[in-house]
Amino acid sequence: MLRTLPSKFLKLITISLIGIALTLTIGACEHLSQFLPVASPTATPTEPATVSPAAGSTFVELPALPYAYNALEPYIDAQTMEIHHSKHHAAYVNKLNEVIQQYPDLQTQTVVSLLQSLESLPEEIRSTVRNNGGGHLNHSMFWQIMAPNSGGTPSGELATALDQTFGSFDAFKQQFNQAGAGQFGSGWVWLAMNPQGQLQIVTTSNQDSPILENLYPILGNDVWEHAYYLQYQNRRPEYLDRWWNVVNWPEVERRFAQAQELQQQLAS
């Protein structure tokens, strides 16, 4: 039974994603949905942040930041946010579009489904899709799970689950920070849910998404140097520590509920 859970979990994720995609009517937006939330209605108006993809490349689009580049100061500086979003994330989007443009058969898929079936992709594009599809997915989540005037502590079922799994919220943060600081080289640190419904802290290298390991990403922090170096230089632990001040808990709680829903469908 357990052996069949992962593929079922993936199927459920896929089915749910298709459902989300169907509710979106704006052209290419369906490719942005995946695990991603609909933009928060509380988002503040911001400077133009959308960078148009190259002509003819519309598989995915760079989502607009739901706040201004300087909105997360003093914890993340405006220049880092601008370069991170308009250069790094944009580059993942453009590279993914470039490669998918050459494979029309793949254009009907979502980024998640591509990542879930990497082995079936032509070998010559597999690592490009893994890196840039993962980069797009990870960053699209990252912008949403942060917000100005946020931080604090989670509430509701997520708070309970964190207490039960890690002992306390502080213990969770400490383990998460430790894992993030210990990730050698570029990568991410995650809070993710496994197919059994358990929360775990995991790290991934490069732009690998937890979905490659059949884990549902609930919260993730980017520990590539491009995410913090201008302000924190080599002090990654300080960045990890201060980052909690910009975590958008309502959005993280929404993602947790979504993961639980998928997991419960699996269990029933």
> Which residues of the chain form contacts with Mn ion (CB under 5 A)?
222, 224
Q: Is the peptide bond before 237 cis (omega within 30 degrees of 0)?
A: no
Give the residue with the Cβ less far from Mn ion, 13 or 191.
191
* Least CB distance to Mn ion at residue 69 (A): 14
Give the residue with the Cβ less far from Mn ion, 9 or 75.
75
* Least CB distance to Mn ion at residue 189 (A): 12
Distance of CA 141 to the CA centre of its chain: 3
What CA–CA distance (Å, rounded) separates 154 from 184? 28
Residue 177, φ and ψ in degrees, nearest 5: -60, -40
Token look-up 């946010």 returns 81
* Least CB distance to Mn ion at residue 97 (A): 18
Cβ neighbours around 184 below 10 Å, total? 7
**39, 82 Cβ separation under 8 angstroms:** no
Give the residue with the Cβ less far from Mn ion, 61 or 222.
222
* Least CB distance to Mn ion at residue 226 (A): 5
Give the residue with the Cβ less far from Mn ion, 208 or 222.
222
Give the residue with the Cβ less far from Mn ion, 81 or 162.
81
| Number of residue whose CB is nearest Mn ion | 222
Beta strands in the chain (DSSP E): 187-193, 199-205, 216-222
* Least CB distance to Mn ion at residue 196 (A): 30
* Least CB distance to Mn ion at residue 62 (A): 13
* Least CB distance to Mn ion at residue 88 (A): 5
195, two tokens: 């197919």
* Least CB distance to Mn ion at residue 92 (A): 9
Give the residue with the Cβ less far from Mn ion, 154 or 180.
180
Give the residue with the Cβ less far from Mn ion, 112 or 227.
227
Beta bridge mates, 188: 204, 222
What CA–CA distance (Å, rounded) separates 172 from 118? 32
Cβ neighbours around 45 below 10 Å, total? 7
105, two tokens: 């058969």
Give the residue with the Cβ less far from Mn ion, 166 or 188.
188
**63, 237 Cβ separation under 8 angstroms:** no
Strands of 199-205's sheet in order across: 199-205, 187-193, 216-222
What CA–CA distance (Å, rounded) separates 257 from 132? 27
Cα–Cα–Cα angle for 53, 55, 56, rounded to 5 degrees = 105
